[in-house]
Structure 1
Amino acid sequence: MQNSRSSWKRILLTSGVAGALAVPLAVAPAAATDRTDWTVQVIASGLKNPRGVTALRDGTVLVAEAGEGRPGCAVGEKCVAATGAVFAVDGNRQGRVVTGLASVAEGAEAGAPASANGPSNVLPDHRGGYIVVSGLGGTTGERTALGADAATLGTVFRTSDNKVLADLTDHETRLNPDGGDVHANPWSLVRSGCGFLTTDAGANTVIRSAPGGRTSTAAVVPKNELPSGAAESVPTGIAKAADGTVYVADMSGGQVDASRIWKIAPGGEPEVLATGMTNLVDIALDEKGDLLALSYSQAPLAGPPQPGAVFAVGTGTGDVTEIPTDGKLKQPTGIEADGNGGVYITNKTLGTDGELVHLSR
């Protein structure tokens, strides 16, 4: 069955989905006894639609919170409010280090969690503050209709003065690189030279940005040609190795076992490194140069939520090994290695009772 781009971008909106340090994980089949060796510890709770997580070399962990839009928004109406944030954990101290960032959410029925678009990934700004990529789920016209408070949605911006460093929504609206529906939903970013590489889950692209706000299409992530039909790629996680190799994960329309991880060598074309996983929403590099991949759900997104999963993926071989989590990951969205043999994951990421958890053995 043909999967339309807009339907899967709506799933990203309604389900809450899209500098590496290390975790030494062997890319080999996990023994049955390993299932009790891994523990999942809640580090922080009460997070508002948490998305990407970033571990810094000093031990600080950052979480991008997409916020909750405007509480009290009428059912079916999209409302913008300054409820997005950057949350930090530094040893025993934790809390929001930046608040008041733009967030948009559609009013939900009483008792239903509000799924928001807003900050989806964060990096430290060398000049102070943070660099944030924000989701949107739309076009420049739709953003304008939301009002002036929505100006940073669908962009890369810095928190010190809310200056937009790259407008990914403008790029998609003007150029529509993949020729499909015009729809921008930036998801994750890495530094690249003096600028950034950003995945756009709505546009099926990886966008390069440079100083001065210049943007260019670094890659169009191809559809996945499945027996059931062509599935939109929906690129999500991105990681960059020290040698310049870039890795990109895609959801492949949410089809079971269809998610792919792409490997892009410097100056090369995207090549599939690994597949066979489902609903990949993020990836991170470990200290061996291999990958950690996070599944939002190992089942189709329609129906009751199913547990997510974590995989170790060999960057040299493409071998995939599941890391046991005993079904404790519920709608996870962001993953990062901590440099000490553990992994940070944002969990329960739909609504305002999200978690940051630590996976260790």
Structure 2
Amino acid sequence: MMSRKKLLILAIFAALFPQNALAATFSVVVEGLDNARGLSFAPDGALYVTEAGSGGTGACVPSPTGGNLCYGTSGAVTKIANGKSDRVLTNLPSIALADGTSSFGAQDIKFDSLTGNPYVLIGYAADPALRDTALNSPDLGKLVAADFTTNSWEVVADFSNYELANNPDNADVGSNPTAFVLDGNRAIAVDAGANALLSVGINGSNLQPIATFAQEVLTNPLFPPTDSVPFDPTQVPPPEAAPPAAEFAIQATPTGVAKGPDGAYYVSQFTGFPFPEGGARIYRIDAEGETSIYADGFTQLTDLEFDAEGNLYALQYANESAWKGNFDGSVIQISPDGTQTTLLSGEGLVSPSSLAVSPDGEVYITNQSDRPGLSQILKLDNPKPVPEPTSVLGVLAFSALGLKQWHKKRLFNRHWRI
């Protein structure tokens, strides 16, 4: 039988040198995708991913922050089932820089739970006024109903035109719809360029804002050094822009949306340049359109989704301000009581864009989502977090309580483990 003194020594040792909690690992399900973005499970259990494409050699429009985005039909939707991947929808509109990066096109996909019909959201990220005149590509910035059997689609709603005509946040005009959910007979979409959460009937009726997200003012923000090379010219102001100020207004830039178990909508935030670390939030929008902060302290969130147990999974594109050039991302689980647990950080998770939770609770992620021809889909192999002691003092207090009970009973309860 081990003495109380030895038990205490072992408890102290365990507290000072704890075993690390088992971090999630992942498997690569598919690779070689072209700027992979949105993920969704169909009613038949297959996983679908949108590929924003790599633009093309067509007409170009200037990005609001520098560089030219050129048009092509390189976007696609890919189906993954039974260990195989097949493109089931092709020739979708896409714009990107000449090297295929900074791509905007097929951003998200969802399936009607009653009919199984697929809907695809197509982004834009440029001046809505130039879409039809300069690009002659009216399907950018829209929600479309897709038909995989005929490789065709029909327009449901024009979010970019709505921003041009209405500008619901009363700020700079811009549109880039990035994600949506289907809620009954409505599509609920976030437009990152318009800083708005929008609702439209899946028959195209009654397009209107649910909520808008105002600019935020940073005090003494951290900016890139003046001699640094931008990681992405579409994300960093050009050199001729006004010098940084002590107070700097940034866009909210909403990116993902999920419907919670409580019926409210939850919206993730990327934030605008200079992408303050810890400055991104998750907003909750209730049935009356009232907006509140559900969780904060994140960096450059791109997506979020609930599982069947009410846990919310949030995805960070990069854990540091993206202009620093480190694109290690994170998957963070937020339990119903608000506890945040990082399941995976870095270790091969790089610039992820979207996640999906399967009906049986498996978590899938689009990885390297900003790399044409190199994007992947990952599956977390063990997404359940392993509890850790919160502090050495907590472990010592727990150990002392255990020793006291041992002294009283003169025996080990079989539930105690050393």
In 2 relative to 1, CA 32–320 (structure 1 residues): closer, same or farther, beyond 3 Å? farther
In 2 relative to 1, CA 223–73 (structure 1 residues): closer, same or farther, beyond 3 Å? closer
SS in 2 for 1:141: helix
Residue identity opposite 2:143 in structure 1: V
* Aligned counterpart in structure 2 of residue 330 of structure 1, from 334, 337, 350: 350
* Aligned counterpart in structure 2 of residue 266 of structure 1, from 287, 292, 298: 287
1:182 aligns with 2:182: no
* Aligned counterpart in structure 1 of residue 133 of structure 2, from 145, 160, 165: 145
Bigger radius of gyration: 2
TM-align CA RMSD: 2.2
Shift of 1:57: 4.7
1:118 aligns with 2:105: yes
Task: Tell me what 1:281 maps to.
Answer: 302
Residue identity opposite 1:358 in structure 2: K
Residue identity opposite 2:257 in structure 1: I
| CA contact 2:111–2:182 (8 Å) conserved in 1 | no
1:219 aligns with 2:239: no
Shift of 1:84: 0.6
How far apart in 2 are the matches of 1:51 and 1:214?
27
Cα deviation code 1:181-201 (max 9, x no counterpart): 100000000113312110011
How far apart in 2 are the matches of 1:92 and 1:165?
32
SS in 2 for 1:349: coil
* Aligned counterpart in structure 2 of residue 162 of structure 1, from 150, 153, 165: 153
SS in 2 for 1:327: strand
1:133 aligns with 2:152: no
1:34 aligns with 2:21: yes
What are the within-5 Å matches in structure 2 for residues 5-44 of structure 1? 33-35=20-22, 37-44=23-30
In 2 relative to 1, CA 262–225 (structure 1 residues): closer, same or farther, beyond 3 Å? same
Task: Tell me what 2:199 maps to.
Answer: 208
SS in 2 for 1:181: coil
SS in 2 for 1:142: helix
Shift of 1:334: 0.4
1:296 aligns with 2:288: no
| CA contact 1:83–1:100 (8 Å) conserved in 2 | yes
| CA contact 1:50–1:63 (8 Å) conserved in 2 | yes
Residue identity opposite 2:127 in structure 1: T
Task: Tell me what 1:105 maps to.
Answer: 96
TM-score (norm 1): 0.83
Residue identity opposite 2:33 in structure 1: L
Shift of 1:352: 1.9
Shift of 1:114: 2.6
SS in 2 for 1:89: strand
What are the within-5 Å matches in structure 2 for residues 71-90 of structure 1? 77-90=68-81
In 2 relative to 1, CA 262–359 (structure 1 residues): closer, same or farther, beyond 3 Å? same
| CA contact 1:152–1:162 (8 Å) conserved in 2 | no
Residue identity opposite 1:40 in structure 2: F
Shift of 1:142: 1.1
Point out the more displaced range, 118-127 or 170-179.
118-127
* Aligned counterpart in structure 2 of residue 48 of structure 1, from 19, 34, 46: 34
In 2 relative to 1, CA 265–214 (structure 1 residues): closer, same or farther, beyond 3 Å? closer
Shift of 1:323: 1.0
Shift of 1:138: 2.2
SS in 1 for 2:163: helix
Shift of 1:256: 0.4
Cα deviation code 1:296-324 (max 9, x no counterpart): 0010111323200010113x433322113
In 2 relative to 1, CA 321–70 (structure 1 residues): closer, same or farther, beyond 3 Å? same
Gaps of 5+ in 2: 1-17, 221-246, 383-418
* Number of residue-to-residue matches in the alignment: 324
SS in 1 for 2:124: coil
| CA contact 1:66–1:120 (8 Å) conserved in 2 | yes
| CA contact 2:37–2:107 (8 Å) conserved in 1 | yes
| CA contact 2:200–2:207 (8 Å) conserved in 1 | yes
| CA contact 1:40–1:325 (8 Å) conserved in 2 | no
Residue identity opposite 1:50 in structure 2: A
How far apart in 1 are the matches of 2:19 and 2:139?
47
SS in 2 for 1:144: helix
Gaps of 5+ in 1: 1-30
In 2 relative to 1, CA 308–233 (structure 1 residues): closer, same or farther, beyond 3 Å? same
Task: Tell me what 1:23 maps to.
Answer: none
Residue identity opposite 1:137 in structure 2: A
Task: Tell me what 1:171 maps to.
Answer: 162
Residue identity opposite 2:212 in structure 1: V
| CA contact 1:40–1:328 (8 Å) conserved in 2 | no
In 2 relative to 1, CA 105–306 (structure 1 residues): closer, same or farther, beyond 3 Å? closer
In 2 relative to 1, CA 39–70 (structure 1 residues): closer, same or farther, beyond 3 Å? same
How far apart in 1 are the matches of 2:75 and 2:19?
41
Overall identity of the aligned pairs, in %:
30
